[in-house]
Amino acid sequence: MEHGFVIWHTGVAASGKSTIGKEVVRRLRERGIKIEDFDADEVRANISPNLGFTPEARDENTKRLAFFGSILARNGVAASIAAVSNLRRFRDRARSMIDNFVEVYVKCTLEECKRRDPKGLYKKGEEGKINDIAGWHQPYEEPLNPELVLDTTTMSVEECVEAELAKLEELGYIPKSGEATEPTDTGYSPEEEEKIKKRLADLGYL
């Protein structure tokens, strides 16, 4: 892969962005594709622990994620990014910074996200302990023309992952399943390859 690409998973908290992204990364690595996983919350914890969730802080965090992704992509490495990135201008900026950009809208109803609530954010919101949840206290602007929409209210994780892999294949960013990721031409003719294989077999290596 000469050029990398960036999959930008956007959606409100608990929609399933990180879960889908991590499984896609695992599946792509199994295919021999170089890819890194960036979760917005993990990046905050390790690089900007004091960065909050104000509009300005969200702006800064998404800018950093786009920068990381752009560096990897131009060096032939793919990246999966999971970030609420609630404003379209955040995502538009990322697209402008990255040549091969795939926006995946992980869509889910607020009611279902509140029911899942794996990090307890919505519970804290109900209790009045926090008031900065995108899609509830702060706006969440749905993508207008994403490359892919995954509705996790009705789709399973496996269905979402398969749909995303199919989209990457369709866009030409990854080989189709079963195809080699690297050229397989050894420089030998079929007859020469057979002779080499026979010699290796005779020596006990095959």
Give residue limits of the domains in the chain.
6-202
Which of 85, 96, 156, 189 is flagged as catalytic? 85
Q: Is the pLDDT of residue 31 over 80?
A: yes
Report the pLDDT value the prediction gives residue 184, as an integer from 0 to 100.
39
When pLDDT is averaged across residues 144-164 and rounded to a whole number, the result is 98
Question: Is 48 annotated as catalytic?
Answer: no
42-56, 110-124, 185-199: range with lowest mean pLDDT: 185-199
When pLDDT is averaged across residues 8-17 and rounded to a whole number, the result is 97
Q: Which positions ≥6 away from 91 have C-beta within 8 Å?
A: 8, 10, 62, 85, 103, 143
Share of the chain above pLDDT 70, in %: 85
Q: Is the pLDDT of residue 197 over 60?
A: no
pLDDT tens digits for range 82-126: 999 999 999 999 999 999 999 999 999 999 999 999 999 999 999
- If pLDDT is split at 50, 70 and 90, which confidence band does 138 have? very high
Q: Is the pLDDT of residue 193 over 70?
A: no
Angle at CA of residue 124, ends 120 and 126, nearest 5°:
115
Q: Is the pLDDT of residue 183 over 70?
A: no
Q: Is the pLDDT of residue 73 over 80?
A: yes
In CATH terms, the superfamily for domain 6-202 is P-loop containing nucleotide triphosphate hydrolases (3.40.50.300)
Burial code (b: 16+ CB inside 10 Å, e: under 16) for 30-62 equals eeebebbbbbbeebbeeeeeebebeeeebeebb
Q: Indicate whether this model's pTM tops 0.75.
A: yes
- If pLDDT is split at 50, 70 and 90, which confidence band does 51 have? confident
Report the pLDDT value the prediction gives residue 41, as an integer from 0 to 100.
78
Contact 68, 108 (CB under 8 A): no
Contact 40, 61 (CB under 8 A): yes
First to last CA, the chain: 30
Mean pLDDT across the chain, nearest whole number? Answer: 89
- Integer-rounded Cα radius of gyration of the chain: 21
Enter the tokens of residue 1.
Answer: 């892969």
Angle at CA of residue 55, ends 53 and 60, nearest 5°:
80
Task: Write down the residue that tokens 């496996």 correspond to.
Answer: 158
